[in-house]
Amino acid sequence: MTFPSNSFLDDSTESRQDRPDKPEEACGIFGLYAPDEEVARLAYFGLFALQHRGQESAGIATFDASGSHCYKHMGLVSQVFDDHILKDLTGHIAVGHTRYSTTGSSHVCNAQPAVVPTRLGNLALAHNGNLVNAADLREELIDRDHDLITTTDSEMIAFALAEAVNDGSDWVKAAEMAFNRCYGAFSLVIGTPNGIMGARDQQGIRPLVLGVLDHEIPEVGQPAHYVLASETCALDIIGANYVRDVEPGELVWITPEGLISHKWAEATQRKLCVFEMIYFSRPDSIVNGESLYSYRRRLGHQLAKEAPADVDLIMAVPDSGVPAAIGFSQQSKIPYAEGLIKNRYVGRTFIQPTQSMREVGIRMKLNPLKDVLEGRRILIVDDSIVRGTTSRKIVQALRDAGATEVHMRISSPPVTHPCFYGIDTDNQDQLIAATKSLEEIATQINVDSLAYLSWEGMLETTYQDPDSFCSACFTGKYPVEVPEPFKRAKLKFELKEPVAT
């Protein structure tokens, strides 16, 4: 989370029109303890696998006998690092981060890991999530004469931990004290001269997994080459084996003696962000013992049962809508086809397109296949609609390519409330489903019909306890209490008539 320069309640000055029409994840985190390995290079590839979680900045910090080394900068992982930089990041411990800022402008000073000195040596902290009490924590730290360098709540967690260390606590005790000052969502990887730790908030809102580079999974407390990451896809890329999730309210401390687990707080019921399941995490990542591709395909099955359509072809908004579209096709027995081709090399660019290119709109990223679409009734599946701007452009491109009808199905419920736990969703008045009825949304994006998956169907399809997920962006029921001044910054008004599903 990043605070704007004037006030944490200020709205971002970034143009809403230039932002993606999707919720944006805050960041990806990665860490490993691996003596005799090129930890910086392994961290680079781990972050490369987590690039989808943040594309604004990237950083790696390492620890060796001489101390800590850190390099971070704006840009994609492949743009920030090269062989020369990685060779200078020596050590047996690495902490990595790839970031998307959730509020305010993106600056290199806010890139992570956050490195803070202590009496026991530097610590390097990588954070995924948002603290809802960041304003109060910031005031406490400033009152104790801490010189905060950045505008992120991540740095505040690092300073709170350093404060406890400097007051005499060891790393684990200091972490427990710091975490108990933090409210909201946080998954953390923290490097120190003595070891590396991973931790999650009491609800486990943001993900964190544990793996090993070794062929055999060791007993608890036995030495091993351990890996911590936001998702299992970051383990796969470096050949690590998934062991388990770090549990809500758990801290794992990894040293030359092995791994020790601490409960820094009594865990409440798990509240994993359900959008991790629907959209954020990569489809090849494993959650609840299966790939998210399998879950997303089941969403399509359920969507076809709830909202069938009489059409000629099923297609997806690539890439995130593909598994659900395939599931819809399988359930409905209607053929699936690619109707939009994605330019996979278009990332975030600082070079603005010409005015004529802007008028062409979506084709810079998605180009329709006219011979597939012409003369056909099309149903297009996407995972979510936030503002509706991109959906409208896609629908128009399909019509221009010759589709006679365009229907849309969404494999999640309407997004009606902003997130306060690490997802960059707009203020409530920018969320199309918070301000318009289903019919009004269909008219605005120019589809022949529109339907969303039900909230019940979304959760039932997880095959897990429905109460083990945070779905506040669909319901407004926030599992961690949000202070009123912070809440009012985004909840400018409450939805009066829920959107039908």
Task: Point out the residues that are catalytic.
Answer: 27
How many Å separate Cα 301 from the centre of its chain?
25
375: region left, alpha or beta (phi > 0 left; psi from -120 to 50 alpha): left
Structure tokens at 340: 């939009």
Helical ranges in 374-430 per DSSP H: 389-400
Side-chain-side CA neighbours of residue 106 (13 Å): 21
CA nearest to 11, candidates 492, 495, 494: 492
Contact 415, 23 (CB under 8 A): yes
- How far apart CA 22 and CA 59 sit, in angstroms, is 24
- How far apart CA 195 and CA 189 sit, in angstroms, is 11
CB atoms under 10 Å from CB of 5, counted, come to 11
Q: For the chain, what's the residue count?
A: 501
Contact 143, 179 (CB under 8 A): no
- How far apart CA 484 and CA 33 sit, in angstroms, is 41
CA nearest to 69, candidates 77, 59, 80: 59
| DSSP state at residue 221 | T
CA nearest to 122, candidates 81, 97, 152, 91: 91
Helix H or strand E segment including 158: helix 153-166
Contact 50, 43 (CB under 8 A): no
CA nearest to 125, candidates 70, 84, 78: 70
Q: Phi and psi of 405, rounded to 5°? A: -140, 145
